[in-house]
Chains A and B, each alone.
Chain A
């Protein structure tokens, strides 16, 4: 089999998930409106949204793959590439910046082995990014790990925190 031949694609919207999406679509007068929820479902199932998955979403919702890609690229939370098992987002916008948010980023990059923002650690466990305002400025520095929202993180708390995400 040549490397250029497309690998088999396993669709996301089969059986249960298809039913779930159909139910969601009842909430909106247009199918297009189901796009953001559908993309969330893909990311929850696969961890990221590949071009092939975008094409599937387009087909399910009666849109073009280019349109879907246009929407995916607009929203920063949709991953267009695989990320580490634990995706870590740290707020460094002004209120958190005043309280040492950049120190938390430094500690996370060091202790996860990611070294660079946006890069995945060699063991594939972590990806760390800076994020603009997580909306919890009274609890500096908020950090999101996957879907978990952790308040008041300091550089000192980082090693202990990472133990929970192995």
Chain B
């Protein structure tokens, strides 16, 4: 539902059904709403069967990459020779994205249930939920919910009387965007600096503590109980565009809109309707640009936004990505050059600094953009930015560097006039000096 606003009739409410209902946060309140039935069901099946159901549903990772979830689970060793781990990525830090926060705040048991099912399917006795340090309220709520789940015997040495051990722990981050990258997250759990690791080995072979590990996003895991309860065919049927993108997805809308918040729609939903009708532009304003999948994906102009389908393939068709579903809206008052500088400043701040292209590239990108905003740029700076961005793409251990380049390249391509206005002196400088 359109939390914190009234539900919109065009939403397809599955994960967000109980947002805003305090009782749903409690164990009993959750059970009353059908909670933990899916876990019970899963515990009565073979682990491989559970994975098969998730595979059939077509569920794909909601954290950004969109990798098929069931397939990821099936990469885990079938025969368990060493400890297996599940990591839940609750380090939601992608600018524009705030869906996992609401899932944990309102339906903590939904996440616990999803984690427990995944743990069973991949034969992991231990799950770590890595929650970003700033999420103090979700952390408290999750702590309370976990304590309840242990007390009721849903978790622990004999989870739901199944004879299986399912342990689940919260691990609090300490302010590093990069720890949302899966291998950096695992390093952070291990008590290390959050530097991403070179792959291979992939987590299913050697993940956290060097053991086979699966890592999934909060929203992905929260969808799993629904698939168990209602069947993969039902989930697969939730598709407006193509069979490769199924289910519902939470879209967080922010920026220049009247009703910001989370909206849950079937994938393939038109982005234009979401922005113009559901969230709504401010009175008298027109749409200039939109970032559909969190700050790391290329910017769309108005025409592209209004013809974009919100699924993995639809976004790629428009030259962008569905990402985490963080929709940032810019109306005609937005200064694209300043906002793009602000985005790149984010990446420069968050670079872990282990790869040269990223450490130097993000910092220089900011400096060049600031020079332009101070009225000291030259036309050559635009070519320099594009050249720099190319050197920052596809050359590093993780994609933070690529993410910094994405708004710069798409921004210069689509809003070149605004950059030139600063360079040619047609626009008054907004920064005092570079």
Question: What is the CB-to-nearest-CB distance from A135 to chain B, in angstroms, rounded to a whole number?
Answer: 5
Question: What is the CB-to-nearest-CB distance from A86 to chain B, in angstroms, rounded to a whole number?
Answer: 14
Which residues 86-103 of A sit at the B interface, judged by CB distance below 8 A?
89, 92-99
Question: What is the CB-to-nearest-CB distance from A144 to chain B, in angstroms, rounded to a whole number?
Answer: 6
Contact indicator A74/B193 (Cβ below 8 Å): yes
Tell me if B135 counts as interface (CB < 8 A to partner A): yes
Given contacts A39-B174, A77-B175, A94-B346, contact A137 B260 (CB under 8 A): yes
Contact indicator B334/A98 (Cβ below 8 Å): yes
**Which residues in B have their C-beta under 8 angstroms from that of A93?**
95, 295, 342-343, 346
Contact indicator A95/B255 (Cβ below 8 Å): yes
Tell me if A27 counts as interface (CB < 8 A to partner B): yes
Contact indicator B135/A138 (Cβ below 8 Å): no
Tell me if A52 counts as interface (CB < 8 A to partner B): no
Tell me if A11 counts as interface (CB < 8 A to partner B): no
The docked-state distance in angstroms from the alpha carbon of A109 to that of B95 is 24
Given contacts A93-B346, A94-B95, A94-B328, contact A140 B254 (CB under 8 A): yes
Contact indicator A94/B174 (Cβ below 8 Å): no
Interface stretch of the complex, out of B65-73, B96-104, B266-274? B96-104
Tell me if B94 counts as interface (CB < 8 A to partner A): yes
For A61, A92, A132, the residue with the greatest tally of chain B CB atoms inside 10 Å of its CB is A132
Tell me if A36 counts as interface (CB < 8 A to partner B): yes
Contact indicator B261/A133 (Cβ below 8 Å): no
Tell me if B337 counts as interface (CB < 8 A to partner A): no
Question: What is the CB-to-nearest-CB distance from A74 to chain B, in angstroms, rounded to a whole number?
Answer: 4
Tell me if A33 counts as interface (CB < 8 A to partner B): yes
Question: What is the CB-to-nearest-CB distance from A18 to chain B, in angstroms, rounded to a whole number?
Answer: 18
Question: What is the CB-to-nearest-CB distance from A136 to chain B, in angstroms, rounded to a whole number?
Answer: 5
The docked-state distance in angstroms from the alpha carbon of A97 to that of B291 is 15
Nearest opposing residue in chain A for B192, CB measure: A71
Nearest opposing residue in chain A for B136, CB measure: A147
Contact indicator A34/B191 (Cβ below 8 Å): yes
Question: What is the CB-to-nearest-CB distance from A127 to chain B, in angstroms, rounded to a whole number?
Answer: 15
Tell me if B189 counts as interface (CB < 8 A to partner A): yes
Which residues 14-58 of A sit at the B interface, judged by CB distance below 8 A?
27-30, 32-37, 39-40
Given contacts A70-B193, A76-B174, contact A139 B346 (CB under 8 A): no
The docked-state distance in angstroms from the alpha carbon of A96 to that of B326 is 13
**Which residues in B have their C-beta under 8 angstroms from that of A70?**
193
Nearest opposing residue in chain A for B259, CB measure: A138
Given contacts A29-B83, A30-B190, contact A94 B339 (CB under 8 A): yes
Contact indicator A71/B191 (Cβ below 8 Å): yes
The docked-state distance in angstroms from the alpha carbon of A76 to that of B93 is 14
Which residues 113-157 of A sit at the B interface, judged by CB distance below 8 A?
131-140, 144, 147-149
Question: What is the CB-to-nearest-CB distance from B3 to chain A, in angstroms, rounded to a whole number?
Answer: 9
The docked-state distance in angstroms from the alpha carbon of A134 to that of B96 is 10
The docked-state distance in angstroms from the alpha carbon of A113 to that of B209 is 47
Contact indicator A33/B190 (Cβ below 8 Å): yes
Contact indicator B95/A29 (Cβ below 8 Å): no
**Which residues in A have their C-beta under 8 angstroms from that of B98?**
135-139
Q: Interface digits, B189-202 against A, CB 8 Å rule (1 contact, 0 not)? A: 11111100000000
Tell me if A9 counts as interface (CB < 8 A to partner B): no
Nearest opposing residue in chain A for B252, CB measure: A138
The docked-state distance in angstroms from the alpha carbon of A106 to that of B46 is 58
Tell me if B134 counts as interface (CB < 8 A to partner A): yes
Contact indicator A32/B191 (Cβ below 8 Å): yes
Contact indicator B101/A77 (Cβ below 8 Å): no
Tell me if B188 counts as interface (CB < 8 A to partner A): yes
Contact indicator A75/B194 (Cβ below 8 Å): yes
Which residues 51-85 of A sit at the B interface, judged by CB distance below 8 A?
61, 70-71, 74-78
Q: Interface digits, B273-308 against A, CB 8 Å rule (1 contact, 0 not)? A: 000000000000000000000010000000000000
Given contacts A40-B172, A140-B254, A148-B136, contact A133 B346 (CB under 8 A): yes
Contact indicator B172/A36 (Cβ below 8 Å): yes
Question: What is the CB-to-nearest-CB distance from B244 to chain A, in angstroms, rounded to a whole number?
Answer: 28
Given contacts A36-B173, A98-B334, A135-B134, contact A71 B95 (CB under 8 A): no
Nearest opposing residue in chain B for A77, CB measure: B175
The docked-state distance in angstroms from the alpha carbon of A135 to that of B262 is 12
Contact indicator A74/B97 (Cβ below 8 Å): no
CB-contact partner of B96 in A77, A78, A95, under 8 A = A95
Which residues 340-393 of B sit at the A interface, judged by CB distance below 8 A?
342-343, 346, 349-350, 352
Given contacts A32-B190, A74-B193, contact A135 B93 (CB under 8 A): yes
For A96, A98, A136, A149, the residue with the greatest tally of chain B CB atoms inside 10 Å of its CB is A98
Ordered by A's residue number, 11 sampled pairs between the chains whose C-beta atoms are within 8 Å are A35-B191, A36-B172, A40-B174, A74-B193, A76-B175, A77-B174, A98-B334, A98-B339, A137-B98, A140-B254, A147-B136
Q: A94-B295, A138-B254, A140-B260 are in contact. List 17 more A-B contacts (CB 8 A).
A: A32-B190, A32-B191, A77-B133, A92-B342, A94-B328, A95-B255, A98-B255, A99-B254, A99-B255, A133-B93, A134-B134, A137-B98, A138-B4, A138-B98, A138-B253, A139-B260, A148-B136
- Give the top 8 A-B pairs by smallest Cβ distance, nearest first: A35-B191, A75-B174, A77-B175, A137-B254, A95-B254, A76-B175, A32-B191, A138-B260
What is the interface of chain B, defined by CB distance below 8 A to chain A?
4, 83, 92-98, 101, 126, 132-137, 167, 169, 171-177, 188-194, 209, 252-256, 260-262, 295, 326, 328, 330, 334, 339, 342-343, 346, 349-350, 352
